[in-house]
A = this chain, B = another copy of it.
Amino acid sequence: MERSAAGALVAARAATVAADIDRAFDALLAVPDDPRHRLYEAMRHAAIGGGKRLRPLLVQATCDLFNISRESALRVGLAIECIHVYSLVHDDLPAMDDDDMRRGKPTVHKAFDEASAILAGDCLHDLAFEILADEQTHPDAFVRIDLVKALAVASGPVGMAGGQMMDLEAEKARFDLATVTRLQNLKTGALIGFCVDAAAIMARIPVEARTGLHGYARDIGLAFQIADDLLDVEGDAALAGKALGKDAAAGKETFVSLLGVDRAREQGRLLVEQAKAHLHGHGAEADLLRAIADYIVERDR
């Protein structure tokens, strides 16, 4: 698939998904008329309007393979976005990455205050599990409990949060390529892996039959991070809606610092081809997954 075709396919579905996610957050996060209003306003600031909504899109694209209902795909995507957004809110805190801008807006602790940001993140964290546990997400309780367990693992110390801890340590140590790869497999890879795994869980595909999907997810996860590292040195901060060049300033090793720009870009392309090769058993129903893989290294923000 050539560049523009992939981009157009992704853009069309992404716009629908983004609108659906915003609408769902708007309904879930009605601001109460009591002293908790600031908490809900902070959650809304973090969750509504903005973001590529790549993870919910990835859930929908994988659900296309298995004829899972749009409603189930949307609610699982919403739960994952709750985790993703909560992690951004906490990562942006002064004690963590200390970022002032996110998605072209002030970060939550800037627009509100640190305490509200910590609590808003904590509440979005809870909301993810509340959404997954609700029968609106999927009629089968066995499926829902598997989703809850897989998400708790993907977001915790052996997944996203463990990767974030490694990222904090990266400022003190000099990580080699193997360690940076492991860091990124945890920090961004675990949640991306859950996006495709969630569709397989809902389709009750046995774990041993998910190897191709897991390979796809691992490859696009790394390609996504390489693209992020490239944008961090070459990108446009206005388009990105956040500060760039921060890794180099912090003395952190990245795929780009370890491989150089050209080899990193080449590695990203290679991973995308490898990701698509994992989908060889599928026909047109996997076109959106293929287009997402292409989009990941083409994007400019």
Chain A positions within 8 Å of B, measured between CB atoms, are 34-36, 38-40, 43, 86-87, 90, 93, 95-96, 113-116, 118-119, 121-123, 125-127, 129-130, 132-134, 141-142, 144-146, 148-149, 151-153, 155-157, 161-162, 164-166, 168-170, 173, 175, 179, 182-183
Contacts and interface: CB of A to CB of B under 8 A. Distances in A.
A153 to B, nearest CB: 6
A152 B114 CA distance: 23
A152 B173 contact: no
B119 A164 contact: yes
Contacts of A179: 35
Contacts of A96: 115, 118
- The number of times this chain is found in the oligomer is 2
Nearest to A170: B35
A108 to B, nearest CB: 12
Contacts of A134: 149
Contacts of A121: 122
Given A122-B125, A149-B133, A115 B35 contact: no
B95 A162 contact: no
A125 B122 CA distance: 8
Given A36-B166, A119-B164, 6 more contacts: A35-B166, A115-B168, A116-B165, A119-B168, A129-B148, A130-B152
Given A114-B95, A141-B141, A161 B119 contact: yes
